[in-house]
Structure 1
Amino acid sequence: MNKQDALSIVETHLTKKRFEHTVRVAETAVTLANLYQVSAKKAEIAAIFHDYCKYRSLEEMMRIIETSYLPKDLLLYHHELWHGPVASIKVEEEYGITDEEIKSAIYCHTTGKAHMGKLDLIIFVADYIEPGRSFPGLEEVREMATTDLLKTAWMISRNTINFLMEKKNRIYPDTFHAYNDLTRLLDGGNHFEQNAIGNIETSSGSM
């Protein structure tokens, strides 16, 4: 699937503001992919579809979670967390996107997760730092994204947890798992070497 076809698909499912956000995330993701030697095509497609199910009805998303392999504990948390996991299923069902790296990046773009691959990290970061966003502390994160993808993701996880705690919101476990795993890696863990994160193939999978 090429960029224009993908954009044409998602545009019909998003508000104008959300579509503009999606375009910016895709552009940011491609920049990061080129910087960190990941397939720019995969990054672009994952970014374009990351919010594909953002405006699906709660009833439909709930049904998909209940009847699929998605973890049922999603239903115990805010519905804003549902659209990524649901989209990871719908892009395969509706458009034949079977590439596991793309589906994983779509799945975890909001919460993060433990053992994120480079494409996961790129979409997670791009969604946070895209140029249309503006809030305290963001410039520090954007600057870090130019030199250290792992530390950038750690900063985002930290900021997200702090923000949710300040609002006294419940926090999905994957967000804590992401923070803990990223902290471990920054403390000298060897996840990059063991999980082939630095050797992502650029042409595998179907799009």
Structure 2
Amino acid sequence: MTYNLKQYEKEIRDRIGEKRFLHTLRVRDTALELAKIYEVDQEKAEVAGFLHDCAKIRDHDELIKSANEAGLLLTKEMIKAPQIIHSYLGAIYARDLYGIEDEDILNAITYHTTGRANMSDLEKIIFLADYIEPMRNFDGVERARQLAKKDLDAAMYFALNNTLKFLVDHDTYIVPTTVTARNYYKEC
């Protein structure tokens, strides 16, 4: 299937802001690069990368209102870790506003913040593209970039470990899905 996402650029840019939109373009490009390495459908990677933050609404109250309007059931985990809401809402927007029906693309958007056990290669690519895009700058990002180009599972384990350390250091609620994902990739 061919997707024409160009027509949604202004709408998405207006919703998420210029800075986040530029991040989106970098994630899309990084996802395409990884898709080529791992022989994953490049169009799916481009679509998922482009739409991964399509619901990253900056204002918390507006995000909650939009989630409710879209019919997203806010779980206990989402209330305790509101930074994950946009990924679940983004999958709804991708389906309902942008006509995306491919489950792999929708799952890649849904799990790009938390990860999950047994992700598809596309899901891993979007998670990692978001984590390593060129403007990211944090301890370990270069190692994550190297791993992402060699071994998706090793890169996932590294990224999830690093994310968990960050969340613990900042005394942030950790959703069980992320812990389960980390343990899954430890065993790979």
Equivalent residue, structure 2, for 1:124: 127
Decide whether the 8 Å contact of 2:148 with 2:155 is kept in 1: yes
Q: Which runs of 5+ in 2 are unaligned?
A: none
Deviation at residue 64 of structure 1 after TM alignment: 5.4
Deviation at residue 105 of structure 1 after TM alignment: 0.2
Matched letter for residue 102 of structure 2: D
Deviation at residue 168 of structure 1 after TM alignment: 1.4
Equivalent residue, structure 1, for 2:144: 141
Equivalent residue, structure 1, for 2:52: 50
Identify the match of residue 186 of structure 2 among 183, 188, 194.
183
Equivalent residue, structure 2, for 1:59: 64
Matched letter for residue 65 of structure 2: E
Separation in 2, partners of 1:102, 1:75: 21
Segment drifting more, 56-65 vs 109-118: 56-65
Separation in 1, partners of 2:114, 2:48: 15
Equivalent residue, structure 2, for 1:107: 110
TM-score normalised per structure 2: 0.90
Decide whether the 8 Å contact of 2:90 with 2:109 is kept in 1: yes
Deviation at residue 136 of structure 1 after TM alignment: 1.4
Q: Which runs of 5+ in 1 are unaligned?
A: 186-207
Decide whether the 8 Å contact of 1:6 with 1:48 is kept in 2: no
TM-score normalised per structure 1: 0.82
* SS of the residue 2:16 aligns to: coil
Count of equivalent residues:
183
Decide whether the 8 Å contact of 1:112 with 1:175 is kept in 2: yes
Equivalent residue, structure 2, for 1:190: none
* SS of the residue 2:56 aligns to: coil
Residues 113-161 of structure 1 show CA distances to partners (whole Å, capped at 9, x for unaligned) of 1111101000000000000111111111111111111101110000000
Separation in 1, partners of 2:122, 2:21: 21
Identical counterparts, % of pairs: 37
Matched letter for residue 94 of structure 1: L
CA RMSD of aligned residues (A): 1.8
Is structure 2 residue 181 aligned with structure 1 residue 166? no
Deviation at residue 96 of structure 1 after TM alignment: 1.4
Separation in 1, partners of 2:8, 2:149: 27
Decide whether the 8 Å contact of 2:104 with 2:123 is kept in 1: yes
* SS of the residue 1:164 aligns to: helix
Residues 30-60 of structure 1 show CA distances to partners (whole Å, capped at 9, x for unaligned) of 0000100100100000011100010171332
Residues 64-86 of structure 1 show CA distances to partners (whole Å, capped at 9, x for unaligned) of 58x44x56223332211100011
Normalized per residue, which structure has more helix?
A: 2
Separation in 1, partners of 2:131, 2:143: 12
